[in-house]
């Protein structure tokens, strides 16, 4: 009995030991089973840091006293700002300070030079003596196409002597804005130059010189004063761009639109050179390349303003008076003489810049998309 129990116990131990060996074998097999190499596991690609291009906001003195949504120059500057933001993918934005809030119109050159503003519309006739050669862009009798005049003036500002004149004030030309041909809105009919003699008309700059040569009397007034003067009769009329007739509602007191052409104005849009040099090379290239588009946009804005003014005058029963051929020829002669006199007064450099301007205008007029 004892023997039998011992054999049984022995067999039980053998079986238990075998089970333990089998379990150890299974454990070893699991541990040595090859696993998928780590290198074959898909990992996210390493990201190379990209340089962040900083955006810059440039302060603008847009000139004049108008505030949007006026037409004319304010609309030009609004749309130029929008175009620059789009073309530079938001890297360059312009902030217009309306109503001369940043710098007065007669101090834009100084404002650009002293970093008060980054960009400014330079009204050279209100800043006498600072950039006198820029007045070439206001000389009368140079062609008949406003787009061609503006493109020619942009080229003039990009070359000497005008380029050097602006550089003295740490300014680089940026673009061009303009007013289109200026005419008369009057309280009384002016059907000939005989009617113009002695008439008191609100005007300034080159237009005042033309008026004086034709026998009229120029009176310097602000736009607000012009409105009051026309209402009260202290002036007989106003010489202004067509679009301004609608902007300031001159048609409410003036009843005659007299188409004696008194010339136009083109203005350099300057940028502080230090500000320009801080822009990226790509943005500089973009802004230079888009200058013709900015000029075309500005001209289209003025055409739109002119058309609104014409419609407003028609709706208000304003009489349109055209000059006869003889009077038109007289104006052309006066214009040419005034431009030549201005150039002679400046000296040889004045004669050169006027000759260059006339030649460039003629070149652009031949290819103008607005040529009639």
Residue pLDDT, tens place only, 4-34: 444 344 433 433 344 433 444 434 443 333 3
Write down the pLDDT at residue 5: 42
Write down the pLDDT at residue 15: 39
For the residues 161-169, what does the mean pLDDT come to?
Answer: 97
Cis, peptide link before residue 69, omega less than 30° from 0: yes
Residue with tokens 């002016």: 190
pLDDT class of 297 with cuts at 50, 70, 90 = very high
For the residues 230-244, what does the mean pLDDT come to?
Answer: 93
Say which residues have a Cβ less than 8 Å from residue 201's Cβ, sequence separation at least 6. 184, 186, 211, 216, 217, 218, 219, 235, 236, 237, 238, 239
**pLDDT tens string 94-145:** 999 998 899 998 999 999 999 999 999 999 888 888 999 999 999 998 998 9
In the chain, pLDDT over 70 holds for what percent of residues? 83
pLDDT class of 223 with cuts at 50, 70, 90 = confident
Total residues found in the chain within this entry: 372
**pLDDT tens string 244-288:** 898 889 999 999 999 998 988 899 999 999 999 999 999 999 999
Half-sphere exposure of 196 (CA within 13 A, CB side): 25
The domains located in the chain, with CATH, are 56-180+264-317 (3.40.190.170)
pTM: 0.80
57: nearest Cα among 268, 279, 294, 277: 279
Residue 179 or residue 354, greater confidence: 354
pLDDT class of 238 with cuts at 50, 70, 90 = very high
pLDDT class of 180 with cuts at 50, 70, 90 = confident
Judged against a pLDDT cut of 80, whether residue 42 lies above it is answered with no
Write down the pLDDT at residue 369: 92
Write down the pLDDT at residue 28: 42
Write down the pLDDT at residue 366: 96
Distance (Å, whole) CA 219 – CA 207 = 11
**Joined tokens for residue 348:** 């040889």
Write down the pLDDT at residue 240: 92
**Joined tokens for residue 229:** 């003067």
The rounded mean pLDDT for the chain is 85
Q: Are strands 265-272 and 171-179 parallel, antiparallel or unpaired?
A: antiparallel
Q: Are strands 256-259 and 182-186 parallel, antiparallel or unpaired?
A: antiparallel
**pLDDT tens string 298-326:** 999 888 889 999 999 999 999 999 988 88
For the residues 36-42, what does the mean pLDDT come to?
Answer: 35
In the chain, pLDDT over 90 holds for what percent of residues? 64
For the residues 324-332, what does the mean pLDDT come to?
Answer: 88
């Amino acid at each position: 009995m004892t023997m039998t129990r011992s054999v049984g116990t022995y067999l039980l131990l053998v079986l238990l030991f075998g089970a333990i060996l089998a379990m150890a074998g299974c454990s070893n097999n699991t541990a040595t089973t090859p696993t998928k190499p780590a290198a074959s596991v898909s990992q996210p690609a390493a990201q190379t840091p990209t340089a962040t291009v900083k955006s810059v906001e440039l302060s603008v003195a847009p000139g004049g006293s108008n505030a949007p949504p006026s037409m004319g120059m304010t609309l030009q500057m609004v749309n130029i700002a929008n175009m620059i933001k789009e073309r530079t993918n938001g890297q360059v934005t312009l902030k217009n300070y309306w109503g001369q809030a940043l710098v007065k119109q007669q101090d834009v050159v100084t404002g650009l030079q002293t970093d008060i503003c980054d960009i400014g519309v330079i009204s050279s006739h209100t800043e006498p003596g600072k950039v006198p050669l820029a007045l070439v862009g206001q000389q009368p009798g140079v062609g008949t196409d406003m787009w061609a005049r503006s493109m020619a003036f942009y080229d003039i500002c990009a070359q000497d002597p005008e380029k050097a004149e602006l550089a003295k004030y740490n300014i680089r030309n940026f673009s061009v804005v303009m007013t289109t041909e200026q005419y008369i809105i009057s309280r009384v009919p002016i059907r000939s130059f005989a009617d113009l003699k002695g008439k008191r008309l609100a005007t300034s700059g080159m237009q005042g010189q033309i008026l004086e040569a034709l026998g009229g009397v120029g009176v310097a007034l602000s736009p607000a004063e012009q409105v009051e003067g026309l209402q009260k009769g202290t002036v007989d009329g106003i010489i202004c761009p067509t679009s301004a007739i609608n902007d300031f509602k001159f048609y409410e007191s003036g009843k005659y639109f007299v188409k004696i052409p008194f010339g136009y104005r083109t203005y350099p849009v300057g940028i502080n050179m230090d500000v320009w040099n801080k822009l990226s090379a790509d943005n500089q290239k973009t802004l230079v390349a888009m200058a013709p588009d900015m000029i075309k946009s500005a001209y289209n804005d003025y055409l739109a303003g002119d058309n609104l003014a014409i419609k407003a005058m028609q709706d208000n029963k304003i009489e349109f008076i055209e000059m006869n051929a003889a009077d038109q020829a007289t104006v052309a002669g006066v214009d040419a003489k005034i431009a030549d006199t201005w150039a002679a007064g400046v000296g040889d450099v004045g004669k050169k810049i006027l000759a260059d301007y006339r030649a460039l205008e003629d070149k652009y007029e031949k290819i103008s998309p607005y040529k009639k």
